[in-house]
Amino acid sequence: MHRSLSCLRWSYGTRTEALVVPIIPEERTFLSRTNKILFWLAAGLAVLALTFSAGLLAGAAEIGPALRLSPGAISALPLLLAGLSFLIVQPMIRPRYTELIKNIMLVATFLLWGIVQLMAQNPLSKTLGDVVIVLYVLDLVWTILASLQSARKQPA
């Protein structure tokens, strides 16, 4: 990346001081602001996902009515929030194309699983639940194969 620098010089007596300051292009400033917003949004959603996950373990039966949420919604929220958070992170981390495809597949898996939690039990929800399983297996196999390939390339 090309950076422009501005040099400020001033003298007093026989001594000269200089201060080099980077000039940040306007679009970089915009991206920095956007990344900050995305960062805090993703972090907030991730914390909410963890909070609702803890609620599941602590006893959704007590939390659900207090928040006026159904048991399905209590189960769906951590999945939907985590998936959405990971989706928001993608423009910030700018993964390679294959990693982006894998990450988007994982996002879709979490979101789909969350949607399935909200659905009534029927043949469609069963089929979509099976799709979630296939996507998780595919994601894990992809990770395993990439790890094996990486280990193979490293000297023993």
**Per-residue model confidence (pLDDT) at position 127:** 96
The distance between the two most distant Cα atoms of the chain, rounded to a whole number of Å, is: 86
- Nearest Cα neighbor of 102 from 86, 117, 115 is 86
Please write the tens of the pLDDT for every residue from 64-117.
566 677 888 888 999 999 999 999 999 999 999 999 999 999 999 999 999 999
Compute CA distances 106 → 67, 97, 99, whole Å. Answer: 28, 14, 11
pTM over 0.75: no
Please write the tens of the pLDDT for every residue from 122-131.
999 999 999 9
User: Where do the H-state alpha helices sit in 13-96?
Assistant: 26-67, 71-93
Tell me the domain boundaries of the chain.
29-153
**Per-residue model confidence (pLDDT) at position 65:** 62
Task: Tell me the C-alpha distance between 107 and 35, whole Å.
Answer: 19
Whether residue 52 contacts residue 81, with contact meaning beta carbons closer than 8 Å, is answered with: yes
